[in-house]
Structure 1
Amino acid sequence: MKKKIITLICISLLSSALISGCSGQDTEKTADKKEAVTSQQSKKAALEDGVYSAEFHTDSGMFHVNEAHDGKGTLTVKDGEMTIHISLVSKNILNLFPGLAEDAKKEGAKVLEPTTDTVTYSDGYTEEVYGFDVPVPELEKEFDLALIGKKGKWYDHKVSVSNPVKVEEENENGTSSNSEPVSVDMEDGEYEVEVTLEGGSGRASVSSPAVLLVKNRKAYARIEWSSPNYDYMKIGTEIYYPVNTEGNSTFEIPVSVFDKKMTVIADTTAMGTPHEIEYTLTFHLE
């Protein structure tokens, strides 16, 4: 009888130890999960919602941001999720995939489709290239991004995004100085838009209506000045050069806002020495 009681006690103690051990392990796992989730949320919330300029790094000299953009892309943060838009050097890369090449080949894999971007080089030459909106899981850390070109083969690459700088969308006086084109609910094509110019000496003017260009549902405008002496325009930190070689200076610039003043800088050589003049343009959507 004593042996039976002792055996029962031992079994009871052993069961308690096992339960306690399992409970401890479960608690540790739960704590680890909570810590991981908290860490993930912290990383996502590292930047407040908004638009940033950020550096985009790759592990290949054949795959990089177009030189016209100085190795940078436009990082958009919304509800804690980060996406960077990059313009590449040509139309040779057809798709990107956030992950490994072997996963990109699987049925149902969601690849990133290209946009058609217009880039302007320092000599004024413009070119159409492919761009992509790439999800960014974390800043300052490499992640996998596979690509496929015209040869139909997927390649693995490591990329990273760093040094985000907030793009000021509005000046203190209420005018926009953002160089990102606004999204419009319009089919791609050419339209007309009334435009009002203010600033400077009052002697310069721009043609109105101007040509409104919609590319990938983004708004751009073809601005023709009343003088052939403007050699570049500047919006924020971006510089734009004339798209023509004869006649009055004409530029294609992004429209960052409608029915509200948009600050631009125009450099003129009319006075002999190049001189930057600040203007505002208002594009009337109606």
Structure 2
Amino acid sequence: MRKKNVAAAVIVLLAVLLGGCGNKGDVQETDPVIDAAALTEEEQGEVAESVSETTSEASKEENLESSESSESEQSVTELADGIYTADFTTDSSMFRVNETCEGKGTLTVENGKMTIHISLGSKKIINLYPGLAEDAEKEGAKLLMPTEDTVTYSDGLTEEVYGFDVPVPYLGEEFDLALIGTKGKWYDHKVSVSNPVLSEENAQTGSADTKGTTALEDGTYSIEITFEGGSGKAEILSPVEMTVTDGQAIATLKWSSPNYDYMIVDGEKYLPVNTEGDSVFEVPVLMFDEPVVVIGDTVAMSKPHEVEYTLTFHSDTIKE
């Protein structure tokens, strides 16, 4: 009888303690089966201990959920700039990535903003909208325009399909993404992006998009280079100064000649940053420890002449 009294008292007291978690408007008066005040001192102690243990466990569970949520948010916030492969999941078998992609897309993280490129199964979906269908139909709505992607199936057949660059607000949770097909009707869908894995190329040397320098902290460094090409009459002096800002490295290249009026690096044309003395250029560092082809235009000859050179930036020589 004594154990039954204690158990009943625990239930009553827990109901009182936890009652505040429900809707206050639904609280009803109940007649307690056991009068806690009538319990012996020993029984009251056991009741207090049981309630303490129960509320402690509830508190631990709440703290654990809060901790897991914080860790999840932190993992998204701290995802470093770079190129990743990530799962792209939808709520419909009619709206999914192309079968050749195995449910994945290419996730790009730049300055903390995430975008995933997905290739679809055909050209039947002509626009996407990051939000609800009703908002996509409003005047001025910014729709996502398709790209033309080429996919290759297991039998060797290739096909042109539509792809999209989709903004990703967060990882591991569903968000709204509306679509419109060739029939002209908007549909609501829920999608999610999860399990980002740094691409092999990006992890080893860094791609041209991330310039292979995201691991360096912002600051100014010196780095040794290997210079090859040309007639040997002019060269870029080593070491060079390298400035890293937001993961992007810029090298200041000083020629041993004043006769260079522009350089071409990764298809972009760069002009000298000085007007007197030997030619000086500020260009991006595309990668470390691999030769990079650059063009230098020299006016030392009878007419301007583009000359091809190679530069190698040696990561093991970086000094602050």
Give the alignment's TM-score, normalised by structure 2: 0.42
Structure index of larger Rg: 2
Greater helix share, 1 or 2? 2
Bigger relative CO (Cα 8 Å, ≥ 6 apart): 1
